């Protein structure tokens, strides 16, 4: 990226600044520096951090807007994105050391240079794009669907408002992986610990009044690894862009396990 270095008023005025210095001081328009993880496994021997500078940052801009502008300039920069409003969960990344969604992270609150890295703990496909297969495998392992052996009713399976309320704080998960990839227990045992996202989903179906497989679900979560690697570190709660609480869900599952074993 070329920085404008045209000197103005050089000479007798003795002003040694540049146009870009001047622009940077205009209200509502400023520059921001980024340091972005770049890695192409086919071409690069090792990952590197690349510096970028973005001019004309407007107030209210989100990180994703900045990334899209940087990509317009350097099309080799790779990241996932889709809805752009925190619903699809595609643009999860590590922003200044914290996992979050780029599309709902305001640029204004970020310390410079903004350091962007891929979600930790998963293999990098390219730049900020990680291989989510392991994450989805753990999600599938908790059988994230209703299991009900009764004959299908004429109308829908009904729930009282109270039964429905128990799913609040569970069903909203968008599977962005910010929680699971921020969990040290997942980093140490990524192949066997299911991670906060999958465990939150496990409890979402355990808590569902229409589901009849609670026993099997609890059985499946037993053993020292799948659930019990959770050490209540609570990075998941800290990072969840939807404000959910996987640690509490895991606590409820443990509670149910204790209750049925007594």
- Residues lying near other proteins in the complex (CB under 8 A) are found at 185, 188-189, 219, 222-229, 231, 254, 257-258, 261
Tell me how crowded residue 137 is: count the other CB atoms within 10 A of its CB. Answer: 12
Nearest approach, Cβ of 187 to other proteins (angstroms)? 9
- 159 or 189, CB closer to other proteins? 189
Nearest approach, Cβ of 219 to other proteins (angstroms)? 7
- 237 or 257, CB closer to other proteins? 257
- 136 or 225, CB closer to other proteins? 225
Nearest approach, Cβ of 223 to other proteins (angstroms)? 5
The Cα–Cα gap between 51 and 30 comes to 17
Nearest approach, Cβ of 250 to other proteins (angstroms)? 11
Nearest approach, Cβ of 185 to other proteins (angstroms)? 8
- 48 or 260, CB closer to other proteins? 260
The Cα–Cα gap between 96 and 35 comes to 10
- 72 or 258, CB closer to other proteins? 258
> What is residue 66's DSSP assignment?
H
For the chain, where are the alpha helices, taking DSSP H only?
19-24, 63-73, 133-141, 161-165, 184-188, 196-206, 214-221, 235-239, 246-261
Asked whether the beta carbons of 87 and 97 are under 8 A apart, the reply is no
Question: Encoding tokens for residue 192?
Answer: 């066997």
- 29 or 222, CB closer to other proteins? 222
For 60-155, where are the alpha helices, taking DSSP H only?
63-73, 133-141
Nearest approach, Cβ of 179 to other proteins (angstroms)? 19
The 3-state DSSP class for residue 181 equals helix
Question: Which residues does 133 contact at the CB level (< 8 Å), separation at least 6?
Answer: none
Question: Encoding tokens for residue 166?
Answer: 């128990």
The Cα–Cα gap between 65 and 181 comes to 24
The Cα–Cα gap between 215 and 257 comes to 9
Nearest approach, Cβ of 224 to other proteins (angstroms)? 5
- 39 or 193, CB closer to other proteins? 193
Question: Encoding tokens for residue 175?
Answer: 């599977």
């Amino acid at each position: 990226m070329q920085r404008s270095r045209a000197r103005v008023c050089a000479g007798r005025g003795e002003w040694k600044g540049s146009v870009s210095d001047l622009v940077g001081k205009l209200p509502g328009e400023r520059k921001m520096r980024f340091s972005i993880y770049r890695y192409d496994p086919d071409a690069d021997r090792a990952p590197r951090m690349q510096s970028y500078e973005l001019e004309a940052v407007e107030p209210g801009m989100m990180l994703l807007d900045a990334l899209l502008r940087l990509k317009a300039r350097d099309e080799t920069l790779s990241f996932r994105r889709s809805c752009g409003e925190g619903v699809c969960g595609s643009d999860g990344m590590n922003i200044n050391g914290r996992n979050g969604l780029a599309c709902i992270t305001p640029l204004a609150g970020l310390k410079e240079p903004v350091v962007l890295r891929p979600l930790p703990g998963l293999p990098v496909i390219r730049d900020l794009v990680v291989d989510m297969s392991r994450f989805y495998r753990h999600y599938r392992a908790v059988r994230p669907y209703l299991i009900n052996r009764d004959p299908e009713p004429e109308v829908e399976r009904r729930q009282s408002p109270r039964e429905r309320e128990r799913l609040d704080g569970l069903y909203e998960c968008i599977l962005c992986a910010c929680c699971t990839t921020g969990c040290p227990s997942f980093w140490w045992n990524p192949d066997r610990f299911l991670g906060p996202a999958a465990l939150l989903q496990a409890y979402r179906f355990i808590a569902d009044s229409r589901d009849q497989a609670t026993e099997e679900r609890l059985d499946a979560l037993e053993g020292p690894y799948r659930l019990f690697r959770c050490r209540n570190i609570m990075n998941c709660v800290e990072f969840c862009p939807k404000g959910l609480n996987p640690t509490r869900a895991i606590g409820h599952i443990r509670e149910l396990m204790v209750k049925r074993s007594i």
